Copies of this chain bind each other. A is one copy, B any other.
Amino acid sequence: MAVTLNANHLKGFVMDHELCGIQAQLDAAHRTLHEKTGLGNDYLGWLTLPTDYDKEEFARIKAAAEKIKGDSDILIVIGIGGSYLGARAAIEFLKSPLYNNLKKDTPDIYFAGNSISPAYVNDLLSICEGKDISVNIISKSGTTTEPALAFRIFRDLLEKKYGKEGAKGRIYATTDKARGTLKELSDKEGYETFVIPDDVGGRFSVLTAVGLLPIAVAGCDIDALMAGAKEAQDALCDPDVEKNDCYKYAALRNCLYRKGKAVELLVTYEPCFTMMNEWFKQLFGESEGKDHKGLFPASVTFSTDLHSMGQFIQDGSRVLFETVVKFKTPKSDLFIQPDAANFDGLNFLSNQNMSVVNEKAFEGTILAHTEGGAPNMVLEVGGVNEKELGYLIYFFEKACAISGYLLGVNPFNQPGVEAYKKNMFALLGKPGYEDLQGALLEKLK
């Protein structure tokens, strides 16, 4: 089991000697990362997480998931950014993008606290009517505006429905191990708590309690998820670009960036991977997009988006390259029966599995797009399951760290996210922001 990089379709876009040319920089990035001497070296917990995660907490996560499965129709997961995308992406990938609509013996899972739209909260509240609910609030500090606001609302709902005592047993807080508002409140109220480690940033946190509790509630095998990540941790340690597809991927995307490509388009042929695309966009966009540098991360789900973005990719501005995540074995299959009348002329597709047609769409597209001038790489993944997902997550995380060091940025901070927050606080009249408020109101005139 592994993620394999197929770079055959880069011929004519990246020369073989370019990989030799970048090897010394890869070596340096590898040392910087593993010797923990680089920018952001306080946030390298994810690097060894698959082996040194907290086994006692892991068992508690599984127990909590069982309790929630037993006493809840709905789990509301409150979090934003890295405290939202990983869990949702994993659940949609492993179960279904239609998870909440399927008949199943696990709770529906809805995500809240990731926007400030009242309409969305009102819809969620109406869905919760008459249902048994648990809440997983995920926030390091407990004061991030979006999740804190949502937590006020859903905590109030639970306390009204179950009483303060009953609500206690239905609120699970994933937060700092010792400090912060949410940790204090949880200790005071007696909520069960799980830990967001100090040395794992939000976008690298899906394999901590942040992701694991919701993923387990959906009925996914989190042991297999961690085992897959561990395989990647063990496998992706050789700095030689020809022996490490994770580093090769980082190197090739860097080559394409340096020769002028502005956009990396992550491509899937499975609707269940669409939210993983979003997870990827945060991981790479937030890690690389700084100091006026970085590839703009975008994504498409084919063949759906071949009928929307396909024209641009085939023949628009030559600013992009594609990275296709391709699964060798489909999650499920469907045999195409021949139609006696063959009214639509599609009998040439019949008497075979639908996944074969999807495969040929992939092959046909990659030949068309590269012919049109859009470079393509393929990350081949074995199948759609927990173990492969764990491997893929770690693969992307490490590729992202190496990519950041190749680019010369700190892959683990996100200073730019504070700018809008500061302005928003000032405009909302938060105490201490009075001077800024005046200046901003002037600009808005």
User: Which A residues contact B (CB, under 8 angstroms)?
Assistant: 80-82, 84-85, 96-98, 100-103, 108, 110, 114-124, 126-127, 129, 142-143, 145-146, 148-149, 151-153, 156, 181-182, 184-185, 202-203, 262-263, 269-272, 278, 281-282, 285-286, 288-298, 301-304, 306-320, 330-334, 336-337, 339, 343-346, 348-349, 353-355, 357-358, 360-361, 363-365, 367-369, 371-373, 384, 414-417, 419-431, 440, 443-444
7 additional contacts (CB under 8 A) given A117-B272, A360-B428: A118-B330, A118-B331, A143-B345, A148-B346, A289-B309, A292-B318, A357-B424
Bound-complex Cα distance A431 to B115 (A): 51
Bound-complex Cα distance A294 to B313 (A): 11
Candidates B145, B202, B315, B420; contact of A289 at CB < 8 Å = B315
Bound-complex Cα distance A357 to B428 (A): 7
Bound-complex Cα distance A424 to B121 (A): 43
B270 and A296 within 8 A (CB): no
Number of copies of chain A assembled together: 2
B354 and A420 within 8 A (CB): no
Minimum C-beta distance from A84 to chain B (A): 7
Residues of chain B within 8 A of A428, CB atoms compared: 348-349, 357, 360
What are 29 A-B interface contacts by the 8 Å CB criterion? A97-B123, A115-B358, A116-B354, A117-B330, A118-B332, A119-B270, A119-B271, A145-B346, A146-B303, A148-B346, A156-B337, A185-B344, A262-B317, A262-B319, A281-B308, A285-B309, A285-B312, A286-B309, A286-B312, A288-B316, A290-B311, A294-B312, A295-B317, A311-B414, A360-B427, A363-B424, A367-B443, A367-B444, A369-B419
Residues of chain B within 8 A of A336, CB atoms compared: 149, 152
A361 and B116 within 8 A (CB): yes
